[in-house]
Amino acid sequence: MFEMFFPDRYVVSAYVIDFEKLYEEGYRGLIFDIDNTLVPHGAPADARAEALFKRLKKRGFRCCLISNNQEPRVKMFNEKIQVDYVYDAHKPSTKNYIKAMEIMGTDRNNTVFVGDQLFTDVWGAKRTGIANILVKPIHPKEEFQIVLKRYLEKIVLHFYMKSRKKNQ
């Protein structure tokens, strides 16, 4: 029933993902959500985000940010990391996941999406047909509409974890 929202992978943080292994597996494009995936909501890129993107670019990844925020927010975050971005993305619509892949020159087979929300980030990636990694939100402070979605996410994640245990 909830399987359409299940992430391909679920990890504690974008900063613990084994990107080197993803590269070895043939992935070349990384699409990231920003708020509560890479930094707390509304925050600029911090030293950790800067170091991550420097490492990813050095490794050979193409990176693109995709956010439902307006351009000033995305542009401010991107000032220090300097990657491609798509703002006002209307996730979970597939249109801008596809646009991000076109910008990066990647496709559904060699692109991974990383985000913190099931009903926008993960579901949009799944609908687009790309691999996805759900991360735990960085900070508990969120906009009201997101707080409401988190309650529903807890239900879905309960069944996700239950199915993972059953399949092991």
What are the average pLDDT values for consecutive 10-residue runs of the chain, which has 168 residues?
Answer: 87 97 98 96 95 98 97 97 97 97 98 94 96 90 65 80 77
User: What pLDDT is recorded for position 158?
Assistant: 80
Smallest Cα–Cα separation from 131: which of 139, 140, 122?
Answer: 122
Other CB atoms within a 10 A radius of the CB of residue 154 amount to: 10
Smallest Cα–Cα separation from 120: which of 90, 80, 161, 157?
Answer: 90
Find out whether 29 and 65 touch, Cβ atoms under 8 Å: no
Find out whether 138 and 35 touch, Cβ atoms under 8 Å: no
Structural tokens at position 31: 């699409």
CATH code matching the domain that covers 29-167, chosen among 3.40.190.10, 1.20.1250.20, 3.40.50.720, 3.40.50.1000 = 3.40.50.1000
What does the alpha-carbon distance between residue 28 and residue 71 come to, in Å, rounded to a whole number?
Answer: 25
Structural tokens at position 152: 């529903």
Three-state SS annotation for 83-102: CEEECCCCCCCCHHHHHHHH
What does the alpha-carbon distance between residue 40 and residue 54 come to, in Å, rounded to a whole number?
Answer: 20
What residues are paired with 132 via a beta bridge?
A: 113
